[in-house]
Chain A
């Protein structure tokens, strides 16, 4: 969740799901469905620490670990049986137990012979589950499932496929490949493969990150240009920090705004040179933002870089002798931040936003604890 009454559900426990709460649902709606829910503010530093600890235990099993997100990863365990002296299922069982013991959280594991089925298996038995799909039973297992069981088939495609008379994966298994390709093009081939339990994608540890971004929802819808700019700066600093941590620079800058009536405006620009500097994102982002501030009220602002490449050295500018100096100043501030904490050096804008968020957070915590006490009463 985020920001009390204004936030959305980032994720929710399985109990809350029984009441119909789903992730990405606005908080007010979630609380209407499940008034006794305990709302917890996310603490990404905590999650990152946990994620790193889990990553370390996974790395001890195989070098082929593909981390998809902070809480999801694929492991290719082929050939590790001799090394560890036990079968993959045993290894994973131990992994699950160790994580619960050392990190204190439960994980769900799916074991199969490719990524699609492993992912499907991990969804079968949540939370703290363990499911296996073997090669021999894969087709049989898939046959009765609906078409949208395939990860990546959304409502639109599911409708399209069912209109052609395929309601289940079994139906797709029976269909001729040629026919599916005729009906759905390349997607037809993909449907055929998945329905038959085929997925040739390797577990790729270097699978690349596509973008770095940050966004925030305002406590109250905002149309004030200065306030939007303050938040833009704060977000640029976050994106820059992350980009510097992982050593990437982006060629494309994207500004995202969501209006009070939930319409998303996305504006992007190609930079003349890839950047990971907050000041560059901010300067260019302001140009994008300037064209959107038209009296509309916004509930969310986000900024991100994409079309990433390995970050190179900062460059001097022919006609802006200050550019390199400013870049160096930002780097120097970064070093100070790692030594003395992230608030050691900030700009006026950054301090304003942080102070604002801090005071809101306190009143928010109040609200959260209110909800907690109500929960206890019942």
Chain B
């Protein structure tokens, strides 16, 4: 293998795939990235056996071939090269090393044979459809914060992507929950996705997909089967195994009859919650919201670490009520709201609250209250 490539092209492709590689590996080749050079392009592949990421970049290939080299080191080296550098990559058969040359810098990294690299079986997707990159970004961004990290409920460790019947037709819907909060976002179902089985995309794959499509402008091809899903963005392809489990029936969790609505400035409330929560030393920093006709009073009270109160103007037509929430969970939701205002629909202090963004009717959030 021998080729010349622009540093920026190489870095972009590498950065798309290298984060799939786990930092600690007992199998040495899993720390490596596969480099395959053929007819004018260099293809890079990384895997952790559950996720496989592939990207390619134009290159002047003098000699075709493939090898694997340490992903982290290669990435760090390329990252530190001057921005406009031209990089020469060459396999040195004598000592089985990958030579990297750019300007006056020269590196030689150990390699392992390309033939030993584990690539994922490509089973035929049963459903294929295209999705606008902005839509996919939104489905991910609005829900990923609620993904659970609890291993005992592994079926919550991802985003549940499925087709659901909405009020005005079929929707492609993403849902994530950790049992304390739930996030839901949907788009009009893209053509061809009707047969999509409900799939749970693991958390790591969700961040890798998000990384891959960042800065990409165009349409993403999605192909899914029972066990795998493939996202294709131009030359970049991410294949991931799905979580083998069934996502709980989340629909019954979404409050239907919460009729006591609070309308309040999103930024004002966010800042106030952040301020009063400062005095709580605990992780589950609970903030009490006292709802009154024209305002909401936020209180944090802790026997040892102190007391904080702030009033925020708002419109509330329901019964006066005191309800508590985990400050972090509130702040996470505020982050999702694009508009100036945020809507809370309450039932009673012990029941889940529905949170909405008036500018984004396609997304909904559910928060479980804490008892205060």
Contact = CB atoms under 8 A, between A and B. Distances in A.
Contacts of A274: 282-284
Query: Closest 4 A-B residue pairs measured CB to CB?
Result: A313-B371, A317-B179, A309-B282, A319-B248
A318 B253 contact: yes
B189 to A, nearest CB: 24
A195 B286 CA distance: 45
A352 B325 CA distance: 41
A318 B370 contact: no
Given A317-B179, A317-B368, A287 B151 contact: yes
Interface string B152-181: 110010000000000000000000011111
Contacts of B63: none
Given A206-B304, A287-B152, 8 more contacts: A272-B178, A283-B152, A312-B286, A312-B370, A313-B370, A318-B352, A319-B177, A319-B253
B46 interface: no
Of the listed residues A286, A318, A320, the one surrounded by the most CB atoms of chain B closer than 10 A to its CB is A318
Given A309-B283, A312-B370, A318 B181 contact: yes
A313 B349 CA distance: 13
A318 B182 contact: yes
A189 to B, nearest CB: 27
A323 to B, nearest CB: 8
Contacts of B148: 272
Contacts, number: 64
B371 A318 contact: no
A310 interface: yes
A188 B253 CA distance: 58
B250 interface: yes
A313 B288 CA distance: 14
B150 interface: yes
Nearest to B155: A319
Contact of A315 (B303, B304, B370): B370
Interface of A: 206, 251, 269-270, 272-274, 283-284, 286-287, 307, 309-310, 312-313, 315-320, 323
Contact of B180 (A270, A287, A313, A318): A318
A310 B304 CA distance: 10
A19 B156 CA distance: 58
Q: Main SS of chain A's interface residues? A: mixed
B366 interface: yes
Nearest to A273: B284
B25 interface: no
B149 interface: yes
A312 B371 contact: yes
B283 A307 contact: yes
Contacts of A269: 151
Interface residues of B, number: 30
Contacts of A319: 156, 177, 179, 182, 248-250, 253
Contacts of B286: 312
Given A273-B284, A312-B370, A318 B179 contact: yes
Interface string B108-152: 000000000000000000000000000000000000000011111
A208 to B, nearest CB: 9
Q: Main SS of chain B's interface residues? A: loop
A274 B250 CA distance: 24
Interface of B: 148-153, 156, 177-182, 248-250, 253, 281-284, 286, 303-304, 350, 352, 366, 368, 370-371
Of the listed residues B149, B153, B281, B284, the one surrounded by the most CB atoms of chain A closer than 10 A to its CB is B284
B254 to A, nearest CB: 9
Contacts of A310: 282, 303
Contact of A316 (B150, B156, B181, B368): B368
A303 to B, nearest CB: 15
Nearest to B352: A318
B179 to A, nearest CB: 4
A241 to B, nearest CB: 22
A272 B179 contact: yes
A56 B56 CA distance: 75
Contacts of B180: 272-273, 315, 317-318
A273 B249 CA distance: 22
A270 B248 CA distance: 23
6 contacts: A272-B150, A312-B370, A317-B179, A317-B180, A318-B368, A319-B177
B144 to A, nearest CB: 16
Contact of A251 (B178, B283, B352, B370): B283
A251 B286 CA distance: 15
B114 to A, nearest CB: 32
Contacts of A286: 152
B143 to A, nearest CB: 14
A309 B284 contact: yes
Nearest to A206: B304
Nearest to A308: B282
A315 B368 CA distance: 8
A33 to B, nearest CB: 42
Contacts of A309: 281-284
Contacts of A317: 179-180, 368
A287 B157 CA distance: 15
Nearest to A290: B151
Contacts of A313: 370-371
B177 A315 contact: no
B258 to A, nearest CB: 14
Contacts of B248: 319
A311 to B, nearest CB: 11
A270 B150 CA distance: 9
Nearest to A208: B304
Contact of B152 (A284, A315, A316, A318): A284
A320 B179 contact: yes
